[in-house]
Chains A and B, each alone.
Chain A
Amino acid sequence: MSKEELLKKRYRAEKRFKFYGLTSVILAILFVLFLVNVIFSKGKGAFSRTTISVEVDFNTEKLELKNNPTNEEIQDTDFYDLSIESLLNVYKTKGLKEEKDLIRIFSPDYEIEIKNFIIENKGFLNKTAIIELTASDDIDQLNKGNYPRHLPEERRRISDFQLLIYDKLVEDNKIQKAFNTFLFTNGDSRDPELAGVGGSLLGSFFTIIVTLLLSFPIAILASIYLEEFAPKNRITDFIEININNLAAVPSIVFGLLGLGILLGTFDFPRSTPLVAGITLALMTLPRIIIPCRASLKAVPPSIREGALAVGASKVQSVTHHVVPLAIPGTLSGTIIGLAQALGETAPLILIGMVAFVVDLPSSPVDPSASLPVQVYLWSEQAERGFVEKTSATIMILLTFLITMNAFAVYLRQKFERRWS
């Protein structure tokens, strides 16, 4: 082959290589866009909820309430009859079946919603108020255009009569769409229109706090000791290899460890962020130690020598000079480790975080769910409402993960120093 041909061949190879690289990048971007698009289009519905305007006459005599009642007195009063009466006023019905159909277009918590309204707006006592009551899941989906109303009646959960009511309500402008605050404030529920990630948000928050408090100090101290003070011998080599191995152990194994030791031997409270936090801390430890050691190693030895040469002790040279320089790398490694822990599902399932918890946890020892487990729980539900809730939870979880990772990148770039 002549020199010319060889040169041409080399250029061709270069072009080919660039083409392959570019194709893979484009493919990767397309996949990400596709994923985001699917999650977003499915999940965006969960951020709004459908309400139905209902007229309620708060007649204190009928309710058997005193004038100027306290909150407790209202709380103890039976609002059931008033609620049913107000709901039935929405549309003219004949017979028990039609009445039932009408009531079922509302979410089952109507009595509580009416009660809460009057507690917050006492001025409406003895007056008539128009209250926006939450619509049932099926009406909500119908209003969002996700419901197959063209199916024959026996294959739908919404009856023809309910469709009739719905169309009339739409005509009268009594169906409203509002921002779904329930999604963020409520705990889990069997009714999709009432279910929210409030409980799992708090659960994840407590879990991450426990994980951070346990893993960060241990990981930092371990990496400083191993990197700066430990003698280089077989034992430290063995420890180093095992830290790397632990970082590669599947997370479910740590779940088994938590189940066996924390729940089995020590009898810690089941399904709680405390146990989840300890389990995830064990999993996160090696994942924090490795980047911490790398950032300590990246501090040039000349800085250590400079400190030692003016008479600093070993500890002084580490705490005054090496650690401050390693902090950005250490912090970003920690944040990325915690972000991984935040998205972890498998170990939490094993320690019982899959429980159905309605109440919001108020401390790390209350049973609760966590965001990724909530995704798992809702993805198994059949109702359409839970499909969009699942995607919405993924969006919330991804928002947190991306924010944490962006913060890690920011820390790295802001504090990155050049040394000569």
Chain B
Amino acid sequence: MVMTNNKVKIKTEKLDVFYGQKQALKNVNLEIFNREVTALIGPSGCGKSTYIRCINRMNDVIETCKISGSIKIDGQEINNKQIDVVRLRERIGMVFQKPNPFPKSIYDNVAYGPQIHGLADHKDKLDQIVQTSLKKSALWEEVKDRLDEPGTSLSGGQQQRLCIARAISVNPEVILMDEPCSALDPIATAKIEELMEELKKTFTIVIVTHSMAQAVRVSQRTGFFHLGNLIEVDTTDKMFKNPNNKMTQDYITGRFG
């Protein structure tokens, strides 16, 4: 166990996930710390995306998906029927692999969340939320003169930052990122990574990534998944320099995966 002064934000215990007959996660115990970037790595189909989709209950959409075990956020159990997923997803934002802005204006993309949650009672307040969110996602300078253009007219990297702005517009506590840079070019990727450095001061970030280099660059903590098992989790530094597990060692040195 790694010692930090940081407090645990998300704690999962004995998490099992089934898609129909297939078990996607096996007995996962993982702690995610407040205001840190936690990277989840592992070969395709290892369950890392499934894991983060459990945190904001996005797996509810999939009918055949069965989740058992405990997921606690700030000590509160969220893996039960009593939890209102709408409230939960307001607290836990998500950014997807492929940028998926709504086919609406840039402004409406960011304003949508605050509107449905009633965070702004008048237009000025909403304008202000949109502006701060776009500034926090480092997109404001590029789009401030064309807020009424469709979000889909932006470049891939800009679209992804728009999606980040959309996620932070409702002021969540956690941002989940599911391979946010895999559809982007290196320059756009660099911008998003820079942005994460900034965002982790306010938010807890969990990022799923295929790129080990990216995990090293952005994260303080790394978890390695393989075939539904969480093999090892530790500080990024330790994981990439001196992992405890042989399998982790093989994966990060490129012997498989």
Q: A residues bordering B, Cβ < 8 Å? A: 231-232, 300, 302-313, 316, 320-321, 325, 417-420
Contact = CB atoms under 8 A, between A and B. Distances in A.
Interface of B: 56, 58, 61, 63, 86-90, 93-94, 96, 98-103, 112-113, 116-117, 152, 156, 159, 163, 166-167, 169-170
A309 B56 contact: yes
Contact of B117 (A232, A300, A311): A311
Contact of A302 (B90, B100, B112): B100
Contact of A312 (B58, B93, B116): B116
A417 B103 contact: yes
B96 A310 contact: no
B156 to A, nearest CB: 8
A325 B103 CA distance: 8
A394 B163 CA distance: 55
A311 B90 contact: yes
A418 B112 contact: no
B102 A311 contact: no
A310 B56 CA distance: 10
A411 B246 CA distance: 60
B63 A310 contact: no
Contacts of A320: 112, 116
Given A316-B116, A420-B159, A309 B167 contact: yes
B103 A310 contact: no
Nearest to B94: A309
Contacts of A418: 152
Given A311-B86, A311-B170, A420-B159, A306 B117 contact: no
Contacts of B87: 311
A308 B89 CA distance: 8
Contacts of A303: 100, 102-103
Nearest 4 CB-CB pairings of A with B: A302-B100, A310-B113, A309-B94, A311-B90
Contacts of A313: 86
A326 to B, nearest CB: 12
Contacts of A308: 58, 61, 89
B132 to A, nearest CB: 16
Nearest to B156: A420
25 contacts: A232-B63, A300-B100, A302-B98, A304-B61, A306-B102, A306-B163, A306-B166, A307-B112, A309-B56, A309-B58, A309-B93, A309-B96, A309-B167, A310-B113, A310-B116, A310-B167, A310-B170, A311-B90, A311-B113, A313-B86, A316-B116, A320-B112, A418-B152, A420-B100, A420-B152
Contacts of B98: 302, 420
A193 to B, nearest CB: 57
A293 B89 CA distance: 28
Contact of B112 (A300, A310, A419): A310
A419 B153 CA distance: 9
A419 B100 CA distance: 8
B17 to A, nearest CB: 18
Nearest to A325: B103
Contacts of A417: 103, 152
A419 B93 contact: no
A305 B100 contact: yes
Contacts of B159: 420
A419 to B, nearest CB: 5
A328 B206 CA distance: 38
Given A311-B87, A420-B159, A306 B100 contact: yes
Contact of B93 (A300, A310, A321): A310
Nearest to A300: B100
B58 A306 contact: no
For B103, B159, B170, the residue with the greatest tally of chain A CB atoms inside 10 Å of its CB is B103
Contacts of B96: 302, 305-306, 309
Contacts of A321: 102
Given A303-B102, A308-B58, 11 more contacts: A300-B100, A305-B94, A305-B100, A308-B89, A309-B58, A309-B96, A310-B113, A311-B87, A312-B116, A419-B103, A420-B159
A305 B94 CA distance: 9
Nearest to B100: A302
Contacts of A306: 96, 100-102, 163, 166
B89 A310 contact: yes
Contacts of A232: 63
For B116, B159, B169, the residue with the greatest tally of chain A CB atoms inside 10 Å of its CB is B116
B86 A419 contact: no
For B61, B100, B166, B167, the residue with the greatest tally of chain A CB atoms inside 10 Å of its CB is B100
Contacts of A307: 102, 112
A248 B166 CA distance: 46
A310 B166 contact: yes
A190 to B, nearest CB: 59
B182 to A, nearest CB: 14
A379 to B, nearest CB: 50
Contacts of B90: 310-311
For B56, B86, B156, the residue with the greatest tally of chain A CB atoms inside 10 Å of its CB is B86
B61 A305 contact: yes
B237 to A, nearest CB: 31
Contacts of B103: 303, 325, 417, 419
A365 B236 CA distance: 78
A298 B244 CA distance: 47
B165 to A, nearest CB: 11
Given A311-B170, A420-B159, A231 B63 contact: yes
A330 B58 CA distance: 28
Contacts of B156: 420
B174 to A, nearest CB: 12
For B101, B102, B156, the residue with the greatest tally of chain A CB atoms inside 10 Å of its CB is B102
B85 to A, nearest CB: 8
Contacts of B93: 309-310
